[in-house]
Every structure is written in structure tokens, then in C-alpha cells.
Structure 1
Amino acid sequence: MKLKIAILGTRGIPNHYGGFEHISEYVSAGLVQRGHSVSVYNSHNHPYQEDTWNGVDIVHCYDPEYAIGAAGQFVYDFNCIMDARRKKFDVVLIMGYTSSSVWGLLYPQKSVIITNMDGLEWKRSKYSKKVQQFLKFAEKLAVKYSDYYISDSVAIKSYLGEKYEIDSKYIPYGADLIGDEERGEQQRNANVNPDYFLLMARMEPENNIETILEGFNSSNSDKNFKVIGDTGNRFGKFITNKFNNDERIQFQGPIFDNVRVRAMQNNSYLYFHGHSVGGTNPSLLEAMASEALIAAHNNPFNQAVLTNDAFYFSDAGEVKHIVETVQRQAHETAMVKNNLYKIQNQFNWEKIIDQYEEYILDCFYHSRLNTVVSGHTGLS
């Protein structure tokens, strides 16, 4: 059966922002290839202004965030929801809940509502206590007003089961294997100063950037440490100022050329992944697919993806120890190969799109046949 599906909750596609936009690209185009009619809602000021993208219908909705700040996200989500009510979609897939679940009473009543429950947003240390309290409330509203749920991490699936007694469907993000263009870039750069550590992240406290750089700063390493990310925000300026006396630490700024980024990951001596909240992170999967050796912050999200195939750290002292002792020998080569195998067999985009389609169809059929127990218990 071919369905009419809408994807809400992102700034739009093609991706110019983050994780939900990234997965919406792949899932929307993949569902179209499987015969479904798919619409993705885009901010009206998104760089892409066409009405279709790879067979996906693009719905441009007014987004006043540029004018009034974060409050504009709520207005934008309201506008998207009201438009979706008029178009009578079979299924509405909502990516996240931060600024959409407050409009839960307005969700299209005749559409099946599936929410990807995001990554425990209320744990992010960048938010004030009041904002964290609101995000907990928004999470509760998302559970209340959605029919079914997706978790991109087994840790989030477990949390939702314990907290709300709902059985969400675990579907992770995916990553592409290295293509010919990336492979060529890697070969061109293979002998150009490959002896460096690498970190790529948004400049936010919960990404443990300060912890990682403190550990490196106190080490006796003679390698450089390259940091990819926009340092223009408040925390980014703090970080660059704190470590500006260490010539080994090189802030590269944001790099949007994915071929170049993946070549840098592949050619790094060790790739640091400091994300501590947010579920399965796309940049971690891309580092795995780029055949980087990885050191990751020690938390359930990263452990669920990397298992035993990474070095783990919890503080600057452990980072220092890793920096000073890590080798590139047979054991480390096996870790890289094991992570590549996971991308090929577990975090493969085609497999993930198949899982999305299967779950969407299951939710639609169960909803229409009224076989789901009331109370939004979800499907496993």
C-alpha cells in the first residue's frame, strides 16, 4: 500500500543544519523511491527554494525565528501543523518535540502521528533550569499526543519504556560508506600531515570539548589537534580563548565540504567524539564509516553504537592517558574494521529506510484496524 506521508519538525531539506534534517533527507527520498507520496516541511527562508527535491514535495512555511529568535520555532511548527491538518496525510512523522508538542491538541486527528523522540533534550547543559523543565514537559506532551514512537538509540528506548511505559521502535541513524570521491580525497591527503587528533562538534558544553582539549593540553603529545566547528557562539569563544596559547590546538572553523571532512576523519591518528546526550549521533556514524579510530565519551549512547571498538574517557585525565598511550597496531586496526562492519550491516541507510517504511506501514495498518490498545502503547 502506498501512503501519503508528511515529515514535520525540521528546518527542511536538503540538510543545512543537523541530525533530523540529515535523516529526513534519506528517509523522505527513500520512501518516494518505494512508491509513497512524501512531503517535507521547510522553513520559508531555507536556502533551497524549489517545490520538489528528489521526488519529495517541499512545503514552505513561514518561520519567524530569524526575526524573533527561538520563539519563532513554535510559530513555525504551528504553521506546519495547521497546513498538515488541511492536507489529510495518512501518516505524519514528527522529528523531535521541542517546539511542536505544545500544539499536540492540534495534531491532524485523522492522520497517524509518529514522533521520533529525540535525545533527552532536557539534559543539555546549555539550557537553563527553566528551559530544562519546559523540555521535560514537552517530552511528556509528545508522549501524550503521539500514536507511536521512534527512538534512535537503545538507551532512549529503554528510558521511554521505564519513564512512560511505552514501547518505542528503535531505528538508528545511518551513514554512507566511503565513495570514490572521498577515497580519492583521502589518498591525496594521506601523506599531508596525517599525524593529528581530530574533533568535530557544535561548540556546546555537553559535547565535552573543554574536557577533551584540557586532556590534550596537559599531555606531552607532539601531534596537532584539529577542531572542526563554528566557534562564533559564546562557548566557542570561551574555548578558543582558553586554549589560544597551545599552538598544537588548531581551530579549523566549520567545514561544510563532506568529502573533505571524511578525508580528515580517515587520515586522523585518533578521532574524539565527546557527545554525551542526543542519542545516536550522525557525526559518530560518519567517523565509523570513514574508518577513523575513535575515542568516545563514556556514556550509554556511545557505548550502544561502538561497544568494545573505541577508547572511552570520562574526564581530562583519561583523555591525557589516551593521547599519550594510543597506538595504531593490529588491535586498533581491528577496532576500525569492526566499526566499518557495523555501518555495513547495522547502520546502513537502505536498511534503515526499510525499517522506517515497515514501521510506518505497521502503524497505519494497526491504527486503521483498531488493534492497538488505547493509551498510545506503541509498537515494538
Structure 2
Amino acid sequence: MKIAILGTRGVPANYGGFETCAEEISVELARRGHEVLVYGRKGNYNDQENYYKGVRIYHIPRLKGKVTETFSNTLLSMFHVLAQKVDIIYVMNTANSPICIIPWLLGKRVVINVDGLEWRRKKWGWFGRNYYQFAERLSTIFSDRVISDSMGIRDYYLERYKTDSTFIAYGAQIEQSTRPEILQEYGLEPGSYFFVASRLEPENNADLTVKAFEKVKTDKQLVIAGGANYKSSFIKNLEKTTDKRIRFLGPVYKEGHIKELHCHCYAYVHGNEVGGTNPALLKALGYGNTVLALDVPFNAEVIKDAGIMYQRSSEDLAEKMQFLVDNPYVRSTFSTKAINRILEDYTWTKITDEYEQFFKDVMAGAFKKGVNEKELIRTS
């Protein structure tokens, strides 16, 4: 098959979940003999490189800006890909669904990964929230099939838009520390800190984590890695804490640094409540972290019994953190469970297998013909 992937910043991945997914599945599909094109944003990587591990990469311009960047880059990428005679156009991000009308009108095979419920993010004003809800509806019209990254998102599209979708999660690698000396750059010791690695946006609840940690009796630190790609009063308010045990590292992009910060933390705190299967949560499990996760359906679906769920209150999170501080022996149990959880359902090999079969089904016109998905799986 010849498959084009649009709507990400490009590969190699150095930013978020879409990029990691694009890299992992494109490289593996190319290794299996498929021809894969990945479109990214000019200026994000070395624009002189045309191939990455067997994947053809294109660096396409974009209009910089929180609102314009994704849409403009995907639109220009779409015009380019239509001249490439690909079998399947795979578009990531609900925001790009209006663009899918172009290949849809031309009779091209196009699928879209809708990710989480972007309109619930508090950074968006009235226009942004309504645009994303409008784009959700269009994604069910201008595509051969919607991909949902969690069963919770699949249920949402069934209930709200009466549209079934194909559930394919993100994946993670099982990784261990290889450069422990990196911790010295941050003045940290192994096991001496709780860790958060996330975009610092309100719906990821870093403020709740800060308030909770302020209540915990420990000499450990709370280390927060992340920022926002826009000016944020939320971050300014976070940094007003007077607790000297809390440290803000800002965005951490140096190769291998996030991995080492994960691998040596005492526990990882995951406060995201909006998305579907969250790549940051999967990474934490893949590193063998003891995970404290906000109790929302998307997180519970991933965690099962491999971590500790907390309610949306600083008191409850503080109680769970204090429990881990007072009972360090439980960490080894959760570390083993975390790794087994990834091996059970979220290896990139398994995820790529699912994508490969899905693309074959799209090629066969199964979804256009209205074949029942359960029957399709049974007969594949």
C-alpha cells in the first residue's frame, strides 16, 4: 500500500502523541514493505532530510499561530498529496476534518484520527470550542472511516453522532534508564521526586497537583516538566507557589532527558482529563512508573489495576501521595503491573498490526460498503 500521513508536525517525533504515532507506525509499515509518506511542518526539523528510516518525509510551509498553524499546513499538504497517487490519506486531528472534503469529493480513500475532545480544552474561546464541535461532525461525513484512540471516544461518537468508528489506541515502548547521569543536570537523585510531564494547560490539572503536594509531609520534590506554546496566565499562577520543594523545568526537549526523568522518579502524576488514550500516560507505564492518574474514563480504561486512581480534589490526591511516601514497598508491585499493562495491549507492534489490517480493510472498501465491523474482523 501507499499511505500518506498528514496533520502532524512531522517525524522524527519530538513533540506530542500524534507525532510519536506517526513515527512509530510509518517506520514499521515501511519496514514491512509499504510506501509511507509523512507530511510535516517546514522549519521544525532538518528540511534537507527527505527520508527517515525508510519513510518519505515532506516539509510543508504553514502560517504560524495557535489557530492557523495546523490547518494551513494540512491544507497545503493535502494539495501536495493529491498529486502523489496514494492509496490512503490518513489525516490526524479533528481540526483538519474540513480539509477532508477535497479528497472526499475526488473519490479518494481518506480516514481521520479524531484524538480526544479538543473542544473541552479551556484554552479555546467560544469560536474555538464551536469550531471543534463542527469539525467533529464533519469528520463523520468526509472520511471513509473515523479512528478513535479509546473506547470512551468511540462511545462518544456513537452517542453524539450515531457514527461507529474503529478503535486503535496509541502505543508505548518498554524502556529503562541508559543515561542516569542526566539527573545531575537537574540536581536530582533517583527516587527523590514526584514527576509530571505534560502541557501546562488547565484541563491537565497541574494546579491540583501542586495544591495536593503542598499538603504532603515529605522531603521529596515535585518536578514538573512542560509548558504551553502560547502566553499562559495559568503557568504564571502555578509558579506563584511558595513551596520550595516544587520545581518547574519548563519544556524538556533534549534527547533522552524526559526518559531519564521518568525512569528515576518516585511516582508519576497524570492529571489529564480531556483526551482519549493519552500517550504521556502510556509512556509513564512503559517506563515502569508508579502512576497516580486522575479518575476519568479515558485514564481508567488504560490503567485498570496498574496504577492508583485519584478523584478530582487536592485532598484525595494528597492522601494518595502520602500513602506512597509512607509505603514505599508498594512501588515495585505497581512498576511490574505498569510494564505488563503495556505488553498486554499497547506495544507499537500490536498497534501497527491493527493499523495495517485497518488500512487493508479500507483498501477493500469494507467501510464504504457498510460491512458490519464485527463481521469484518471475524472474516479477516
Settle same-fold status: TM greater than 0.5: yes
Residue 217 of structure 1 is matched in structure 2 by 214
Conserved? CA contact 2:216–2:318, under 8 Å:
yes
Indicate whether 1:138 and 2:143 are aligned.
no
Kindly report which structure 2 residues correspond to 1:342-361, keeping only aligned pairs within 5 A, or say none. 342-361=341-360
Kindly report which structure 2 residues correspond to 1:158-169, keeping only aligned pairs within 5 A, or say none. 158-169=155-166
Residue 5 of structure 1 is matched in structure 2 by 3
Deviation at 1:184, TM superposition (A): 5.2
Residue 108 of structure 2 is matched in structure 1 by 111
Residue 185 of structure 1 is matched in structure 2 by 180
What is the CA–CA distance in structure 1 between the aligned matches of 2:205 and 2:375, rounded to whole Å? 34
Conserved? CA contact 2:267–2:290, under 8 Å:
yes
What is the CA–CA distance in structure 1 between the aligned matches of 2:376 and 2:128, rounded to whole Å? 30
Unaligned runs of 5+ in 1: none
Deviation at 1:214, TM superposition (A): 0.7
Q: How many residues align?
A: 370
Residue 232 of structure 2 is matched in structure 1 by 234
**Which of 296, 321, 332 matches 2:319?**
321
Deviation at 1:379, TM superposition (A): 7.0
Deviation at 1:258, TM superposition (A): 4.9
SS at match of 1:107: helix
What is the CA–CA distance in structure 2 between the aligned matches of 1:121 and 1:239, rounded to whole Å? 23
Which residue identity does 2:103 align to in structure 1? Y
Which residue identity does 1:103 align to in structure 2? I
TM-score of the superposition, structure 2-length normalised? 0.90
What is the CA–CA distance in structure 2 between the aligned matches of 1:188 and 1:86, rounded to whole Å? 48
**Which of 303, 308, 311 matches 2:305?**
308
What is the CA–CA distance in structure 2 between the aligned matches of 1:193 and 1:118, rounded to whole Å? 34
Deviations 1:319-351 (A, max 9, x none): 221222224455443222112111123110111
Which residue identity does 2:125 align to in structure 1? S
Which residue identity does 1:324 align to in structure 2? Q
Deviation at 1:221, TM superposition (A): 2.7
Residue 167 of structure 2 is matched in structure 1 by 170
Conserved? CA contact 2:306–2:341, under 8 Å:
no
Deviation at 1:223, TM superposition (A): 1.7
TM-score of the superposition, structure 1-length normalised? 0.90
Indicate whether 1:129 and 2:129 are aligned.
no
What is the CA–CA distance in structure 1 between the aligned matches of 2:14 and 2:339, rounded to whole Å? 26
SS at match of 2:83: helix
SS at match of 1:222: coil
What is the CA–CA distance in structure 1 between the aligned matches of 2:337 and 2:72, rounded to whole Å? 45
Residue range with higher mean Cα deviation, 250-259 or 348-357: 250-259
Deviations 1:105-152 (A, max 9, x none): 212533211111110111111211331111100111111101112111
Residue range with higher mean Cα deviation, 334-343 or 234-243: 234-243
What percent of counterpart residues are identical? 30
Conserved? CA contact 1:167–1:378, under 8 Å:
no
Residue 56 of structure 1 is matched in structure 2 by 55
**Which of 270, 275, 285 matches 1:273?**
270
- Change over 3 Å in CA distance of 1:302–1:193 after alignment to 2: same
Residue 98 of structure 2 is matched in structure 1 by 102
Residue 256 of structure 1 is matched in structure 2 by 253
Which residue identity does 1:204 align to in structure 2? E
What is the CA–CA distance in structure 2 between the aligned matches of 1:29 and 1:95, rounded to whole Å? 17
What is the CA–CA distance in structure 1 between the aligned matches of 2:376 and 2:5, rounded to whole Å? 20
- Change over 3 Å in CA distance of 1:102–1:366 after alignment to 2: closer
Which residue identity does 1:101 align to in structure 2? S
What is the CA–CA distance in structure 1 between the aligned matches of 2:150 and 2:285, rounded to whole Å? 16
What is the CA–CA distance in structure 2 between the aligned matches of 1:135 and 1:124, rounded to whole Å? 10
**Which of 44, 47, 56 matches 2:45?**
47
Deviation at 1:18, TM superposition (A): 1.2
Deviation at 1:236, TM superposition (A): 5.2
Indicate whether 1:27 and 2:25 are aligned.
yes
Which residue identity does 1:16 align to in structure 2? N
Conserved? CA contact 2:183–2:261, under 8 Å:
no
What is the CA–CA distance in structure 2 between the aligned matches of 1:320 and 1:51, rounded to whole Å? 49
Which residue identity does 1:102 align to in structure 2? P
Residue 152 of structure 1 is matched in structure 2 by 149
Deviations 1:10-49 (A, max 9, x none): 1211113211011000111111111111111111222231
Conserved? CA contact 2:8–2:19, under 8 Å:
yes
Deviation at 1:240, TM superposition (A): 4.1
